[in-house]
């Protein structure tokens, strides 16, 4: 008599038996705190710059806010950027000091090409930017403009996502944002004929201007 049991049936029998028979082995405590990734000796700003650049982000380091204004003005003119939109009060003040034209009017939003926002923090290990709905820019601006410009400070650098979430929890306490998201490089997809397209679902380029706001300790 021919054995009619298929390989699939044999596998299913083993699975059913394993589910019925409970293991007597005790499961020890799971270490949820230790980092599973090998840490780097490089400063966080160097790690972020390397990982952010690796996902096609554009990184610009600024020693102070004055240098940010100068660098942004130069890049904006070099790229012929028009229709700059910004809702962040702190950044608007810097743009005004540098005589850089921009709009913060809702009527100009649909024509926005360059969107400037702040962020909650920068994740060095993944080169990601964490944003939330609590920011003045809200949910729309980071995703709407063709070029997303992020202004951040060195005091906002953290190592990994866990640290970033703690950063946000410590900042907002019980009033947590309704939306927390991370941006890792420009929007991209390969759904269209398996060809990688950048900017398909959001900004085609993302710039991070990192301003140093941590004073150097004198020896």
pLDDT at 186: 81
Residue 27 lies in a domain: no
pLDDT at 1: 45
**CA–CA dist 137, 135 (Å, integer):** 5
Question: Which tens digits make up the pLDDT trace of 108-146?
Answer: 998 899 999 999 999 999 999 999 999 999 888 988 888
Q: How far apart are the first and last CA of the chain?
A: 88
Residue 51 lies in a domain: yes
Residue 170 lies in a domain: yes
* pLDDT reading at 196 higher than 60: no
Question: Which tens digits make up the pLDDT trace of 7-40?
Answer: 778 888 888 877 777 666 666 665 656 666 666 7
Query: Helix crossing, 89-97 with 65-78: angle to 10°?
Result: 70
Q: Confidence class of residue 193 from pLDDT cuts 50, 70 and 90?
A: low
* pLDDT reading at 60 higher than 70: yes
Number of domains in the chain: 1
Residue 168 lies in domain: 41-211
- Dihedral angle computed from the Cα positions of residues 59, 63, 64 and 67, in that order, rounded to the nearest 10 degrees: -70
Q: What is the DSSP pairing of strand 58-62 with strand 121-123?
A: unpaired
Lowest mean per-residue pLDDT among 23-37, 60-74, 82-96, 138-152: 23-37
CATH number of 198's domain:
3.40.50.10420
DSSP 215: P
């Amino acid at each position: 008599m021919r054995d009619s049991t298929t390989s699939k049936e044999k596998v299913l029998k083993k699975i059913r038996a394993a589910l019925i028979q409970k293991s007597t082995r005790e499961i020890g405590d799971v270490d949820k705190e230790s980092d599973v990734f090998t840490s780097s000796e490089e400063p966080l700003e160097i790690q972020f710059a390397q990982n952010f650049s690796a996902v096609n982000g554009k990184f610009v380091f600024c020693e102070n806010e004055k240098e940010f204004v100068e660098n942004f003005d130069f890049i904006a003119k070099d790229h012929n950027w028009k229709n700059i939109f910004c809702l962040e009060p702190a950044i608007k003040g810097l743009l005004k000091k540098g005589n850089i034209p921009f709009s913060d009017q809702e009527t100009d939003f649909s024509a926005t090409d360059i969107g400037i926002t702040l962020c909650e923090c920068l994740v060095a290990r993944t080169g990601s930017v964490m944003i939330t709905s609590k920011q003045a820019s809200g949910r729309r601006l980071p995703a709407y403009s063709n070029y997303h410009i992020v202004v951040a400070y060195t005091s906002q650098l953290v190592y990994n996502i866990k640290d970033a979430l703690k950063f946000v929890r410590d900042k907002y306490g019980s009033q947590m944002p309704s939306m927390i998201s991370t941006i890792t490089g420009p929007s991209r997809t390969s759904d269209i004929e398996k060809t990688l397209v950048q900017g398909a679902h959001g900004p085609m380029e993302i710039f991070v201007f990192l301003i140093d706001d941590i004073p150097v300790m004198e020896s």
